Structure 1
Amino acid sequence: MLVAMTAMLISVAELSNVISVVAILGCFVGMVLFIMRNMTIFWLHGEDFMFGSPVHNVQAQIPQMKMMKVHIPFTFKLQDPSQSSYQEIRCMVSSQEDYRLLAFWGVSIRELHMFLWRPWSIISSAINFGVPLVGHYQQRGHIIKDVSHKDKVITMSLPKGPHQPLELGTPPRLCYPLVVFLVREPNGTLHPDETVALINVIHIKDSVCTLPTSILAQYLKQANGQLSCLKQLYLATGNPVGYDSGLEFIEGVDQLCVVCQYYPLSRALLPCRHTCICASCFNKLDTCPMCRSPIKSYFCIRNEEYLSECDRPGAAPSKPEPIAQWLQDRLTDFLGFHR
């Protein structure tokens, strides 16, 4: 009996030693796995933990706007707007087609927009008969017919004579100080998408409204009746680029993405209209890097052939070798990550 109890105690002692060794090994393995897991996380996201990350992957896909290129034969710019007044306002005009310039002073805002939304046939007839906006402007200005030409300076002013001064009222005003039409002369059959008129709305600084003299808006009228408001794009340098400058700036070697400073910028963000990033960095952003406003959509201002096939948006990501992929999947499963 005593011998049996002694043997049992020896067995229990040996078993406890084995359990202790197994427990120590288990703790060691757990510690190694814990260190490996955290090292993997740090390897993947260590830079974000240490320094923070200004960019992150966007979950929802931002839609691309389909843009149609429209040829605009006219350009209209103000010359020395700081020196402009109702007695003299100078503008720079160029045209690739024979055209007609019509200026109207003190134009009703409501009636102007109603007139612009009418079909082009009605607008064209009113211009040809000399009765556009009849009864809805205070004074009629210059009427010029000219052939195509490059930049030419035209000086406009209020008509002299026994005219009453403009009555524009106090802000918010119901009348535009000056509206200038550039209308393409009819010459053969027009394609529905061709530009037939450029309408320029101009504010002139006065004692009541002291905002600087500037072009408030520019509207593009097409032969199919489509009316578009032309808006400027804003470069990373802060300089606006209007329709008259075209998109030639994108060919410059100095126009690089503000994020990577490597690829040329190729996308204009909406609604802020900042043109500041490339296609590669676009997929890592959901806010504009210039003004931090949310990106609702975008359009491309140039081709993106500078990106390789694997880097282009929408392209299938390159896959590693089968063995490497298998090892990566096993390690991911072992460490408890989701694939």
Structure 2
Amino acid sequence: MRQVKNPFGLEIAHPSTTTVATGIRLAPDCLENCILTCYWGCSVQKLHEAVQKHAYCFRIKTPKALEDALYSEYLYREQYFIGKNSKEEKYCQLPEDGKSFDFGTVPRTHYPLVALLTLADEENRELYDIVSLLSVIHIPDESYRLACRILYQYLLMAQGQFYDLKQLFMSASNSSTASSKDSSSKDANDKNLLEKLKLSEEESDLHEETGKDCVVCQNGTVNWVLLPCRHTCLCDGCVKYFQQCPMCRQFIQESFPLFSQTELGKDTFRPALANRAS
């Protein structure tokens, strides 16, 4: 493993009230000026072919590159400029004549919405290993009422690799949150650190979770992510004693900390990665 810096972040604002008829509010959060391009009714087959083309043919660093790979097989396109570190939500909606489009029953041939984040400034594309973030979003309609959510998020790399962002799992038994001033201050600090990393939509749930106690000692702050199971349940003191995950008993192949202790005092987040040989 090696550390990379992700300039992109995208979440759904108010997912419980989102439908195809009412539109969707997206909350981008980027380290650089970016372009958010939204594609309604994108072909499922063409999208997955496009991701493969990124690996084998040409890099998807711009909206035009994705559209060429899709052969323009989508219903409607919207585009927004996203300022560096801007928290402004962007409202996306099909035009009136497109709201009657039937995305079909499961398995569908078209995704309701695909959102692409790319770097706006060409010079910045040479600074990052990650060149774009592709988010596949389900939006409920008359045919399929499953609540709005991000189905997949792919990080597209400059060298052609692509990675599917995965959710981290924390113990539900540690659901209590501290109410003291010290704990509130720590939670706020943790949130700022996580924002600097630009975690995925699922991983952003950790904003409220980073103060939880270790499942073993019930005292230390949870800090370690265990792979391949993705349980996030051990503190710095306990992690060295385990070869199997204490939650699911799966053998630990690799692990990495959410926070580097030497950097926390400097208010800097550093997602150090560590291999476990045993």
TM-score by length of 2: 0.71
Query: 2:63·2:118 contact (CA, 8 Å) conserved in 1?
Result: no
CA 1:263–1:189 in 2, change beyond 3 Å: closer, same or farther? closer
CA 1:210–1:303 in 2, change beyond 3 Å: closer, same or farther? same
CA distance, structure 1, for counterparts of residue 213 and residue 238 of structure 2? 12
The offset of 1:255, in angstroms, is 3.4
Query: 2:62·2:118 contact (CA, 8 Å) conserved in 1?
Result: no
**Match for residue 70 of structure 1?**
4
CA 1:293–1:175 in 2, change beyond 3 Å: closer, same or farther? farther
**Match for residue 43 of structure 1?**
none
Q: Which has the larger radius of gyration?
A: 1
CA 1:293–1:204 in 2, change beyond 3 Å: closer, same or farther? farther
- The one-letter code matched in structure 1 to 2:256 is C
**Match for residue 171 of structure 2?**
236
**Match for residue 299 of structure 1?**
255
User: Aligned match of 1:145 in 81, 95, 112?
Assistant: 81
The offset of 1:152, in angstroms, is 0.9
Alignment of structure 1 residues 127-138 onto 2, 5 Å: 127=64, 131-137=68-74
What's the secondary structure of 2:25's corresponding residue? strand
CA 1:95–1:213 in 2, change beyond 3 Å: closer, same or farther? same
The offset of 1:283, in angstroms, is 5.6
The offset of 1:82, in angstroms, is 0.8
- The one-letter code matched in structure 2 to 1:71 is K
Alignment of structure 1 residues 220-299 onto 2, 5 Å: 220-237=155-172, 242-243=199-200, 254-278=211-235, 281-282=238-239, 285=242, 287-290=244-247, 292-299=248-255
- The one-letter code matched in structure 2 to 1:201 is V
TM-score by length of 1: 0.59
Mind listing any 5+ residue stretches in structure 1 that lack a counterpart?
A: 1-66, 306-312, 315-339
The alignment covers a number of residue pairs equal to 237
The offset of 1:201, in angstroms, is 0.7
Query: 1:141·1:157 contact (CA, 8 Å) conserved in 2?
Result: no
The offset of 1:168, in angstroms, is 2.2
CA RMSD after TM alignment: 3.5
Alignment of structure 1 residues 7-18 onto 2, 5 Å: none
**Is 2:126 aligned against 1:170?**
no
- The one-letter code matched in structure 1 to 2:78 is H
The offset of 1:192, in angstroms, is 7.4
**Match for residue 199 of structure 1?**
134
Query: 1:168·1:175 contact (CA, 8 Å) conserved in 2?
Result: yes
CA 1:259–1:164 in 2, change beyond 3 Å: closer, same or farther? closer
Higher relative contact order (CA 8 A, sep 6+): 2
Q: CA deviation digits over 1:22-51, x for unaligned, max 9? A: xxxxxxxxxxxxxxxxxxxxxxxxxxxxxx
Alignment of structure 1 residues 38-77 onto 2, 5 Å: 67-77=1-11
CA 1:145–1:295 in 2, change beyond 3 Å: closer, same or farther? same
Structure number with the higher helix fraction is 1
The offset of 1:159, in angstroms, is 2.3
Query: 1:168·1:176 contact (CA, 8 Å) conserved in 2?
Result: yes
Alignment of structure 1 residues 296-335 onto 2, 5 Å: 296-301=252-257, 302-303=259-260
**Match for residue 185 of structure 2?**
none
Mind listing any 5+ residue stretches in structure 2 that lack a counterpart?
A: 176-193, 263-275
CA 1:207–1:167 in 2, change beyond 3 Å: closer, same or farther? closer
- The one-letter code matched in structure 2 to 1:197 is S
CA 1:144–1:260 in 2, change beyond 3 Å: closer, same or farther? same
Query: 2:20·2:94 contact (CA, 8 Å) conserved in 1?
Result: yes
CA distance, structure 2, for counterparts of residue 74 and residue 129 of structure 1? 17
- The one-letter code matched in structure 2 to 1:144 is Y
- The one-letter code matched in structure 2 to 1:79 is A
Judge which range, 255-264 or 196-205, deviates more: 255-264
Identity %: 29
What's the secondary structure of 1:259's corresponding residue? coil
The offset of 1:256, in angstroms, is 3.1
The offset of 1:230, in angstroms, is 1.1
